[in-house]
Structure 1
Amino acid sequence: MNAALTAFMMQQLGCIHDAAAAASCSQSCIHDAAAGSLAAFMMQQLLHHECSVAPASYMQCTAMDGNQQVLPLAFAVVDEETYPSWKWFLQQLSRHVIRGRRGMCLISDRHGGLIKAVREGPDFVSPHGVHRYCLRHVCSNFNSTIKNVVLKDLCWQAGSEYQLRKFNRIMDEIKKQDVKAFAYLDQINKEKWTASHDGGWRCGILTTTMSECINGVLKGARRLPVSALVEINLQRTVHYFHMRAIKGQKMLQNNQLWTDFACKMFISWQQKAVEHTVTKYSHAQQSASVVTRRQSRHGMNTHVVKIANRECSCGKWNQFGIPCSHAQKVCGAYNISAASMVKDYYDVMAYNNTYSKHFEPVQSEDYWDDPNFQLVHDPTIRTVTRPGRN
């Protein structure tokens, strides 16, 4: 296995292979998917962690690119999901991927060992970065305690609302139906699980679903040797980079300013802006109130936009980095280009830079180098057999 891991890793630009024993991680490795991944990591500044339990545990870190596609950054195979293994994984991530960058946002489940490891590290605590919870996991844990599907749905609605007034309204409804359910959610730090209190760190990402989709791809490989798992990860990542590099070139040929995701969202909100009514207030702050058009069951809502601060009370501009329909209406009123307000990480050139790195094919086993190290198994975690058996 040593030679296989070395062959897979050392021939790829930007890859790290660390098979040294660490805490309870007797056979561990971390793999930075590619040097090009770092552009996306900085671009969205978003990490996702998930662990699937097999004979060993598989940990992974992914990000989102500017087209809202999952981008593998790092993975590790450890003995089990524990505080020491999470601490080791975060240390390797800090050393090889984050590298002192600030403004990182980590989204994960609420595993006790992971939370403890995050609190002890500098990268995801103020003022360096933040830690957020996967909303789907919060709702699942909530339902395990409350055991009420209707309230679980309300929990999801509360966590996914971008507007504070709508969040408060849903929480009042939960309190009306079940005081204990309200108390359960109220004791969780609202910044950790709600979009309305997040402050724009999540970039619109509420769950670790994108990380779990990779888990699904690897499901059939869980009983394979670690070297096979590494090879599957490499092949999958190479495929991602190859196909997305082609897609990026097509975007350039079409003279797109932004990725497909950003273009679609910007145009959709641009069309909605036509129906709004705007009242200008402060030229210095470029602020205004915007009233939406009345429709059958909703509308006639008032939102406050401050272009100078790049914020709208609807919360969407702050989350997605794309001017919402209300912001675009106010931009028009002040003769400002709304397109200039779109975040740089949606730029097509940034997308192409993300996938500009290449991978080298792995040669036949006859050409593999001697890894010059030997894995040492930890005898303290040896599987106990029945007495009398060898």
Structure 2
Amino acid sequence: MFCIRHIGSNFLRAFKVPHLQKLVVNIGYSITVEEYNINYKRLEKRGEAYARWCNAIGLRHWVLAFDEGHQWGHMTTNLVECINSVLKGARNLPVLALSVETHKRKRAGYTYSAFAQQRIEASMQQAWNIVVHHFDRRNEVFEVRQMTTGKVLVVDLTRRTCDCGHFQVERIPCRHVIACCANQRLDWQLYVHHVYKMTEVRKVYKFEFTPLGDPDTWPPYEGPTLVANPAQRRTSKGRPKLTRYLNEMDSCDIRGPRICRLCGAQGHSRSRCPQRVGPSGAAS
């Protein structure tokens, strides 16, 4: 799977049309085939070259409606970056310190179930305006209607599908599924995928670290001598420096020199402008 943010950056680099970058991102986030067709036709009307560029990527690599459930609703690499940030401070440490730091930070995995819990709570708050219009309890097939829009959707609990697309993409009960479960007094927790449960999260950490014991009892080391890189040493004070390579996605974060709004010169602000009338201007 490809990160949708990088696809948007590559599209902007290829065509230089910032007003269409958001449309390309919306195509990737299309959950249903109907939604994809609408967004794709909008892009195709802007230019066939844009549509051909998107077709070259391959639908199953970046569109949620065609990814066969591999992305679980995650379109960026932010999930991986979150795990990297947990162990960022222990990357360049010696083996002993690396094991100790990883052992201390391994409890950060509880956030996975918190993500599912937040989505379910949001669906519960939105399920009140959904009416179960027609149902087949034996086959667990329901027809629901949204009171606000009048849209009619079909929910199949046996196949775990919903016409909105969220149920099969995220494997979490959407508001339509929760409305059906409330109407038939079914337990909605049965339709939450086991990946989001804490029992599965704890399996990641089921292999415990072997106690290292007293370092004085270790056998003598006869390998090469490792010297720490002074460039990797963390500074004790000051604002941390950005170590990530910037590209078109970070254009809004890259600022130019400070320009005074009073005189138009660079290097100072309006409050410290020499031409300002007042105590600060007179002092400078």
TM-score bracket for the superposition, by shorter chain length? 0.5 to 0.7
Residue 293 and residue 230 in structure 1: after superposition, are their counterparts in 2 closer, same or farther (change >3 A)? farther
Aligned residue runs from structure 1 range 91-102, under 5 A: none
List per-residue Cα deviations over 1:247-296 (Å, max 9, x = no partner). Answer: 69xxxxxxxxx9332222222212211111222244443222222232xx
Q: 1:345 aligns to what? A: 195
Q: 2:131 aligns with which of 268, 277, 283?
A: 277
Residue 236 and residue 186 in structure 1: after superposition, are their counterparts in 2 closer, same or farther (change >3 A)? farther
Residue 143 and residue 281 in structure 1: after superposition, are their counterparts in 2 closer, same or farther (change >3 A)? same
Structure 2 runs not aligned, ≥5 long: 225-284
Q: 1:312 aligns to what? A: 162
Is 2:68 the counterpart of 1:181?
Answer: no
Q: Secondary structure in 2 aligned to 1:323?
A: coil
Aligned length: 224
Residue 136 and residue 336 in structure 1: after superposition, are their counterparts in 2 closer, same or farther (change >3 A)? same
Residue 234 and residue 206 in structure 1: after superposition, are their counterparts in 2 closer, same or farther (change >3 A)? farther
Tell me which structure has the larger Cα radius of gyration. Answer: 2
Is 2:89 the counterpart of 1:237?
Answer: no
| Structure 1 position 231, deviation (Å) | 6.5
Relative to the length of structure 2, the TM-score reads 0.66
Is 1:286–1:334's contact at 8 Å kept on the other side of the alignment?
A: no
Identical-pair percentage: 24
| Structure 1 position 190, deviation (Å) | 0.7
The AA in structure 2 aligned to 1:163 is: T
Which has more strand, going by share of residues? 1
Is 2:124 the counterpart of 1:288?
Answer: no
Q: Secondary structure in 2 aligned to 1:314?
A: coil
The AA in structure 2 aligned to 1:279 is: H
Rounded Cα–Cα distance in structure 2 between residues aligned with 1:339 and 1:307? 12
Residue 366 and residue 323 in structure 1: after superposition, are their counterparts in 2 closer, same or farther (change >3 A)? same
Residue 372 and residue 267 in structure 1: after superposition, are their counterparts in 2 closer, same or farther (change >3 A)? same
Residue 164 and residue 239 in structure 1: after superposition, are their counterparts in 2 closer, same or farther (change >3 A)? farther
Relative to the length of structure 1, the TM-score reads 0.50
Residue 215 and residue 310 in structure 1: after superposition, are their counterparts in 2 closer, same or farther (change >3 A)? closer
Is 1:307–1:331's contact at 8 Å kept on the other side of the alignment?
A: no
List per-residue Cα deviations over 1:134-162 (Å, max 9, x = no partner). Answer: 22222222222122222111111110121
Rounded Cα–Cα distance in structure 1 between residues aligned with 2:147 and 2:95? 54
User: What is the root-mean-square deviation of aligned Cα atoms in Å?
Assistant: 3.3
| Structure 1 position 321, deviation (Å) | 1.6
Structure 1 runs not aligned, ≥5 long: 1-131, 249-257, 375-390
Relative contact order (alpha carbons < 8 A, sep ≥ 6): 1 or 2 greater?
1
